[in-house]
Structure formats: C-alpha cells, structure tokens
Structure 1
Amino acid sequence: MRVDKKINILLIKRIMRSWVRIMLTMISVFLIFILTCLALLTVHSTGKPKHFLDENGKELERSISEKIHVNVNGVEQGMFIKGMDKTKPILLFVHGGPGMPDYVISQENTTVLEKYFTVCYWDQRGAGLSYSNDIPIDTINTEQLVSDTIGATNYLCNRFGQDKIYLMGYSWGSFLGIQAVAKAPELYKAYIAMSQMSNQLESEKLSYEYIVEQYKKVGNKSRLDKLEKSPIDEKTNLPTAYWSMRDDMMHSLGVGTTRNMKSVITGIFLPVMESSEYTLKEKINLWRYKFTSPSIKNLQNEEYGTDLNEKVPKVEVPVYFCHGIYDHTISYDLTKKYFNKLQAPMKGFYTFNESAHSPMFEEPEKFSRILEEDVLKGINGLAD
C-alpha cells in the first residue's frame, strides 16, 4: 500500500510538472504574440500623414498634408490639414463622439472633401491628438468646445489669409458646429451638417422604440428582455445598460454608423489601430480618453439636456443639412423638423436614400455633387 501511494504521488507530481510546463509554454507564446503585435503596431504607426500622389507616384504639386499642434484657447490641440490643392477654400471639420475623431474613418472611406477644400481635421480638446493629462476636466464642456471651434477657425483664417471659411459638423460635431456659426457668423461662408442633432434625448427614445419594434418582428426575445430591463424615460434618461448595447444593436440592424458596418470593432477600432498616421501612443490616448474620461459623460449629459430647437432657432449663414434616411443614431425626422423651423438666409436639406448615419461615406458621389453644384456656389438647387 505504501509503495502504491508513493507511485501515485510521483505520478501526480509528474502530471503537475507537465501541466506547469504546458501552461508556462502557453503563457510564453501568448506574451511573444502580444509583444510581436505591439512591435508591428509601433513600426507601422509612424505618425506621419499620407501625401496625395499623382499617377507617377509623386506628391501633387499644390497639395498639403500636415499633422500639427497649435495653441487653441490656451491648450495645445492637434489637427491634420489635408487638401489636393491648398489654394482651395478652407473647411474646418468638427468630429463626432463626443471624443471620437473621425479622421481615420474619413480617409478609409473617401477623400471627397479634400478635392474641393483644404480640410482641417481638428481633434477636439482632450480627444486623439489633443489628449493631455494636464487639461482640467472642468474645462471640457460644451461652451468651451464651441469656443475652441471658433478658436480653431481663427487660426485657420489667420494662417491662410481668409476672412471666412466653411464649417462642417458631423454627428456630435454638428451639436458644436451649429452653435459656433450662431455665435460667430462673421467667420463662416456656410455651414454643412452631416447628421445634424436637434433634440438628442428625444432621438434616443425614438431609436429605442425602433429597435424594440424590429426585434419584435424577428422574435429576438433575448435582446427584447435586455431592452425591457433598461427603458429610456424622463427620469432615467439613458441607462448604462441601454448605452452599453445601443451601438451593437443599431449596427446589427443596419441603422448605425453606416448601412454596411456591422461592428464598431471592425468598422472603427481596427481601422484606427491599423492607421499609420497616428503613433501607437496617440492611438492609446485616443481610446483612453474615449473610454475612461469622466468628461465624456459630462458632455453627453449636456448633449441630452439641450434642445437646439430652442437654443439655436436662427443662424445668419447658409446651411446645408445632409441626412441618411436610415439614420437612427440621430433621428432623420427630428432633424427635418428642426431644419424646417431653423431660420437662415439660405438653406438646403438633402436626403440620402441609401445611407444611415454617414452619407458622405456611404454616397460620396451624391455628396460630391452637392458640394460642387450647391455649397460652393451658395445655392440649393439639388435640395429636396
């Protein structure tokens, strides 16, 4: 019996040593894989902006492709300045989010803007290139970001010798953009909105109802149960549980960022990580701010607590609203109602029948025509 016990103990020890070796090997392989990925990411993430090339592979003579930091209202903020012809009019692109620069996704999908404008893709205070631990959280608010939009505009006017430039707001950027043109109309030739916000809390309620309706049609009980446990109302506003599954549900139904984007991971996260124009540190800072900064929640609270129908009922510049009929990130119907109420010297609303939240990326040919034939001529001949 004692011999048998000794044999069993020896066998157990051998098995344990074997498992330890296997586990150590697996851990080592995993660490090597992670380190290799980080090394490849670091090498690929040069942080240098891509240039516009002609058919011979040479840089276009009058093109511009810069990545710079400038002081905007006392804070160093980053931006890409891109254009096929730097003599073209200047356009400031105000990105979405809050806190989600759209430079990479714009370059992945289309360079329509760079054909007609010298475009400044500005990373808002705290976001992307503009990330810094030294920025006080209490300075990242809507009022400050609107002031920063005007500050970035002044920089561009001074640098390029322009009295006025064009302003474009995308999604969250439209929340800031229309407030900026209302506050400083003398700086802008026109305002272009891609998926213009109006009353975002009401928009979220409509989106919630739409998602519930669609899942009822297909009998997706598991998701319906989750939605019913996390309703949107005046008291709860946007519950954390709903917010955590909102984007995934919208993309699964083809009503999110684009009609074809099925996942934020494959559609946004991976393109950002694969981009060579941000350094690895800049990419980490981009996601670090987006997912961990308390200022994001504060900005969302301001966004959902503001009705632009009341705050900005009038602007003194021409406005062009471009909106996808399938957009449920920002309600098409609410935006159309806001447009109809908005007072402006000239305005045009453009419905994109094959688009969700990003008509510029989804229907670039139509968007290009609108820029060339309406926006740059100051007319609205192609409007609905």
Structure 2
Amino acid sequence: MPLRLIALASLSLTVAAFAPHAQTAGDDAPHLSSAACTTAGQRIDEEGYVTIGGIEQWVQVKGDSCSNPVILHVHGGPGNPETPYTDHMYKEWERDYTIVQWDQRGSGLTFARNKLTDDVPLRIEQLRDDGIEVAHWAMKRFQRRQVILMGSSWGSALSVFMVKASPASFCAYVGTSQIVSEAAMQRPSYEAAMALARAAGDHDSIAKLDALGPPPWTNPRNPGILRRVLRKYEATSTDPIPKSWMTPSSARYTSAQYETNYTAGEDYSWLQFVGWKGDGIASRLDFYKLGPEFGMPVYMLQGAQDLLTMPASTRPYFDSIEAPRKAYVLVPRAGHDPNPPMLAAQFKVLRENVGECR
C-alpha cells in the first residue's frame, strides 16, 4: 500500500495537483532494444521505454546472463514500482535469473511519460493486457517460450488476472501477500488491529479505529489509516526493512521531478484502487469467481505476521486452487511488506521448485 498517500492530511486531489507536462526524469531515456539476447555470460543492465498497450511504458532488465530464466516482477500499490530499488533488493538473484521490472500504467516513469487525471479510469483489463504484452516482449528478447511471474500484494492481484488470461505465457506463478477479495481482507484486518490495540492498551490506535468504524468504507482515506496501525503492530514481530533497500540505485530516481511524478502517479493509482466512495478496483476483486484452475505451478508465500492479507484469507484460497503443482509457504518474521526473510523465502522457492523455465 502506498506510503505517501496514507500520510496525506486530505485526499481532496484535483487535476491541478498533478505535475505539469514539463521535462521529467525518463523523458530523455532510450527505448529498450527488442534484439534477441541469449548469450550465456552476457550481462544485461538496461532500463528505458517499451511501447506497451499503445503507450511508452518503463521497463528495467537486470541479470548476469542472458541465458538465465526470466522473472517478470509485478509491483504492488498500485502505484509503487520497485525499479528505483532493485540493485539493493534483488542483486543476489541476478546470478541465476534475468529480472524484468515494469512501471505499470499510472505508476512511476510510465506515469511521467503518460500523465493521467483522476477522471480517467484505470481498468484492470488494460493493466492485465499490458502485463501480458511485457511478458511477450521479454520472451522475444530472451528467446523464451515462457517466463516466471511474480507478484506481491496488488501485484498478486494483477498477476492472477494475467495467468488466467494467458496461462501458456508463464511456467510458474509465485505470489506473495496474495489479495483474494476486499471482503476477505479489510474486516479481518480491522478486527485484528483492534484486538491488538486493546491488548496493548493503545488508546491512540483504538480511538483511530473507533473513528473509522468497521468496514466496508466509502472514505478513501480509511484504508490508509488502518494500514498505518497494521504496520505499527507488524513492526513488533517482523524483521525490519534494511535502510539500503530504500536507497535509489541511480540519480534518475532522486530528482525533485521524479518525486513529483512518482507521488502523483501513486495518488492517482491508489484512488483508482479504492475509489472515491469505496467503489474502485478493489471493490470488484474476488478471485474465487475466476475459478480454481491454474495452468501452471503455483507457489504462494505468506508472511506469518501479515495483518493485511492474513493467512486466514490466503490459505483457504490457496487450498481451493487446482494446479499441476502447488505449495504454500508460511514465512516467520515477515509481514505484508517485503523484508529479508520474505525475499530469502522467495529465492529459495524459485531455486528449489521452478527450474529452468525455458
């Protein structure tokens, strides 16, 4: 969930709040090549724009060998791309995998190149098709029949739509902090937060939660207020995120213009997700309705201390899935957001289960 938006005093955003169409970080960036890269031992470290879904979208590719299996990582939020931080988070993975990161429509440097206002709807079908097109671009670039799909939180929701629509494109789905439905997520999280606050005598959090009242909600600020309370309690039983992970990997991601565009895209995407009256994309998510069939192995990782997408909601959904192979991994000392225990568990699942994915 967005870090900046939940801290805003008001969500009364207007078109004027968005950054102007001035030169932005990434406007002078090259388009990525579509030329095949298959040589063993040939390192790739590129980022730039690719034409996806009729617009220029930001894609980053890193790996030590073009012959390695390819991971397409679908970021969360929505509106929170990980492209600025990959050097610190996934460097170890690059020995064994080529990692493709993509700033989704409405996010990051894709938003910087294609500004959207809050009256322009963000459609899950368009995001799904964009993601599949990125996968096909990566398959062509690295001469692969399939890629590995990874998604966390919002990225897990988008990933499920992608694998359902194009199962032949993916050799495995690795989901983390899996979203199942808004109903399965919000009320149990609210009740867990209230129980923890009462047990701790945390009168400040109790007052905030009482003011919200139990979900469902129509105020778009409410999920962010709840998330701050959840993070507070997750922090008491999880390993912290290293400060180095939050250090941008290049000057491209540190300019004032980048920050302005990132925040504007984050706000836009989050409002599209929750809606002004609780009627956004989140209100329409229910993955049971898509059916239990998955045409590839499914590996679901769950933070044992995750208070947002809780094991009580993700485990029953996992149990309902029909897949050639599947595994559910409960990760101690991990909450909803990525941290070292979770990334270590993800890497272990990939190394031990997914194989070459040719």
More deviation in 92-101 or 355-364?
355-364
Q: What is the rounded CA distance, in whole Å, between the counterparts of 2:333 and 2:147 in structure 1? A: 30
Alpha-carbon distance in structure 1 between the residues aligned to 2:250 and 2:141: 28
For residues 232 and 115 of structure 2, the distance between their equivalents in structure 1, rounded to whole angstroms, comes to: 38
Offset at residue 106 of structure 1 (A):
4.3
Q: Aligned pair in 2 of structure 1 residues 371, 248: CA closer, same or farther (>3 Å)?
A: same
- The answer as to 2:258 corresponding to 1:282 is yes
Equivalent position of 1:26 in the other structure: none
Which residue pairs with 1:319 in the alignment? 298
From the superposition, tell whether residues 304 and 328 of structure 1 become closer, same or farther in structure 2 (CA, over 3 Å). Answer: farther
- Which of structures 1 and 2 has the bigger CA Rg? 1
The residue that corresponds to 2:132 in the other structure is: 150
Measured after TM superposition, the shift of residue 313 of structure 1 is: 2.2
- The 3 A distance-change label for structure 1 pair 377 and 336 is farther
| 1:296-339 alpha-carbon deviations (Å, 9 max, x no partner) | 44498222332111224221111111111111121222111100
Corresponding residue of 2:16: none
Amino acid at match of 1:309: Y
Task: Select the structure that is richer in helix.
Answer: 1
Q: Does the 8 Å contact 2:179/2:309 carry over to 1?
A: yes
Aligned partner of 1:161 among 126, 134, 143: 143
CA deviation digits over 1:53-110, x for unaligned, max 9? xxxxxxx962211011001110110011011222101111000001111233443334
Q: Show structure 2 runs of 5+ residues with no match.
A: 1-25, 30-39
Structure 2 CA distance for partners of 1:129 and 1:241, relative to 1, 3 Å: closer
The CA distance in 2 between the partners of 1:185 and 1:275, in whole Å, is 35
Which range is displaced more, 87-96 or 111-120?
111-120
Q: State which drifts further: 329-338 or 126-135.
A: 126-135
Judge conservation of contact 1:352–1:359 (CA < 8 Å) in 2: no
Q: Counterpart amino acid of 1:354?
A: R
Aligned partner letter, 2:211: K
Query: Does structure 1 retain, via aligned residues, the 8 Å contact 2:185–2:309?
Result: yes
Q: Does 1:231 align with 2:208?
A: no
Structure 1 counterpart SS, 2:148: strand
Q: Structure 2 length as normaliser, TM-score? A: 0.79
* Map 1:365-376 → 2, pairs under 5 A: 365-376=344-355
Instruction: Name 2:42's counterpart in structure 1.
Output: 62
Paired letter, 1:198: V
User: How many positions carry a matched residue from both structures?
Assistant: 318
1:126 aligned counterpart, secondary structure: coil
2:57 is aligned with 1:77: yes
Do the aligned partners of 2:209 and 2:226 also contact (CA within 8 Å) in 1?
Answer: no
Residues 197-234 of structure 1, C-alpha deviation per residue, up to 9 Å, x if partnerless? 1123321111111111111011112221221111233x
* Cα RMSD for the two superposed structures: 3.2
Contact 1:106 1:361 in 2 (8 A): no
- Secondary structure of 1:253's counterpart equals helix
Q: What is the identity, as a one-letter code, of the residue corresponding to 1:159?
A: R
Q: Aligned partners of 1:111 and 1:71: how far apart in 2?
A: 26
Q: Look up the match of 2:228.
A: 248
Task: Report the secondary structure of 2:280's partner residue.
Answer: helix
State whether residues 164 and 187 of structure 1, in contact with CA within 8 Å, keep that contact through their aligned partners in structure 2: yes
Paired residue for 1:217? 199
Aligned to 1:53: none
The one of 80, 85, 88 equivalent to 1:108 is: 88
Q: Name the residue aligned to 1:40.
A: none
What displacement does 1:139 show?
5.4
Check if 1:354 corresponds to 2:323: no
1:118 matched to 2:93? The reply is no
Aligned to 1:306: 285
TM-score by length of 1: 0.74
Q: Which amino acid aligns with 2:319?
A: N
Instruction: Call closer, same or farther: CA 1:256–1:320 in 2, change over 3 Å.
Output: farther
Which position in structure 1 is the counterpart of 2:72? 92
> What is the match of residue 11 of structure 1?
none
- State the shift of 1:350 in Å: 1.1
SS at match of 2:78: coil
User: What is the CA-CA distance between 1:158 and the residue it aligns to?
Assistant: 1.6
Specify the code of the residue in structure 1 equivalent to 2:272.
S
Asked if the contact 1:194–1:358 (Cα under 8 Å) also holds between the matched residues in 2, the reply is no
Q: CA deviation at 1:120?
A: 0.6
Taking every aligned residue pair, what percent have the same amino acid on both sides? 25
What amino acid is the match of 1:283? Answer: E
Contact 1:251–1:257 (Cα < 8 Å) also in 2: no
**In 2 relative to 1, CA 238–85 (structure 1 residues): closer, same or farther, beyond 3 Å?**
farther
